[in-house]
Every structure is written in C-alpha cells, then in structure tokens.
Amino acid sequence: MSQILEYRMTTWYGPAYDEIGNRGVLTVEAYFKAALDGSRHENRKELADIGVPFLQEKLQEWYGISAPDDKIKVRFERETPAPGTSEAIQVDFREMTYKGKQVSARALPSQTIPLEDEDQEDYDLEYDDTAPSEEDDYDDSDWDDSNDRDWEDDDTDEEW
C-alpha cells in the first residue's frame, strides 16, 4: 500500500501587462492542495494536467486573457504525510497588480475540483462554483492607505 501524501502545487501567470483591464502589470496565482495516494511522479503529473487548464479557464473567465501553456508556470512544494485522501482539490487564487510604484494584492474566490472516481474514464473539469463571492472573501476594512500614492502623480522617470 502506498503512503498518502498531501500535495501543494502553485501555478501562476505573469507578470504580464494588462492592456485590456488597464490594471498595469498583472500576476495571477492559483494554489492547489490535495491529499492523494499512489506514485509521486504520477500524482504531480496529474495535478499539473488539471491545474494548468483550470488556471487558463479562470484567466479567460475573469480577465479575458488567453494564456498559452508555456506562459503558465508550475511548482510543487515538498509533500507531507496526510491522514487520508481528499475527495476534492482545493484551489485558492491571488491577484497582484503593479502600477508604477503602487502594488496591490487581493484574494479571489476559492474553488474546489472533485477528484475522479476509479470507474470514471475521462477526467471532467466540472467544479463546485458555490465558493463565496469576491466581496465575501476579501475584506480591506483594516487597510491603511495613508502611505498610498496616486501612480499618475509620480513624476520620476524610473522604469521597471
């Protein structure tokens, strides 16, 4: 019997200039977490095969960005022992934008992707879209904006 391990994978797109949304430089990250048994190599390959198209779908849905496979980066953290297998993959998202010297980050709605059953032939990317809305998930009430500057007022000639 193989050991059950918790896998943590990060996929991200960017940094890339967002001309359509006028957000400046945009980076979107997706953090996948699932406890699986079986071969580490096969599990990592399967998670990457699920994670890359899932992030591409979200980029298209949220930003209208069609990101090719080679623009999506994938990294894994070291696996840790888990008490049992997951029924779904938990996915958390973060968005970072950079305009001039102003940097902002925000959490986006979490998602879950059900894991396939043994008798299921093809994996289906259908997922539970009942996660809290962006307004429910993000609270900036404690944000201190006393040091924020308007990027248009920045008269320096510095480049990225």
Containing structural domain, residue 49: 5-153
CA gap 80, 6 in Å, rounded:
5
Asked, for residue 160, whether it belongs to a domain, the answer is no
Global pTM value: 0.68
> Would residue 107 count as lying in a domain?
yes
Q: How many domains does the chain have?
A: 1
Cα separation, 127 vs 18, whole angstroms: 27
Residue 40 lies in a domain: yes
Confidence check: pLDDT of 153 > 80: no
Question: What residues pair up with 9 in beta bridges, in sequence order?
Answer: 32, 76
Range name among 34-38, 67-71, 76-80, 121-125 with the lowest pLDDT average: 121-125
User: Residue 158: inside a domain, yes or no?
Assistant: no
Cβ of 74: how many Cβ atoms within 10 Å?
Answer: 16
pLDDT band at 19 (very low <50, low <70, confident <90, very high): low
Three-state secondary structure readout of 11-56: EEEEEEEECCCCCEEEEEEEEEEEEECCCHHHHHHHHHHHHHHHHH
Q: Is residue 97 part of a domain?
A: yes
pLDDT digits (tens, 9 = 90+) for 74-120: 999 999 999 999 999 999 999 988 887 888 888 988 999 988 755 44
Question: Would 124 be classed as within a structural domain?
Answer: yes
Residue 142 lies inside a defined structural domain of this protein: yes
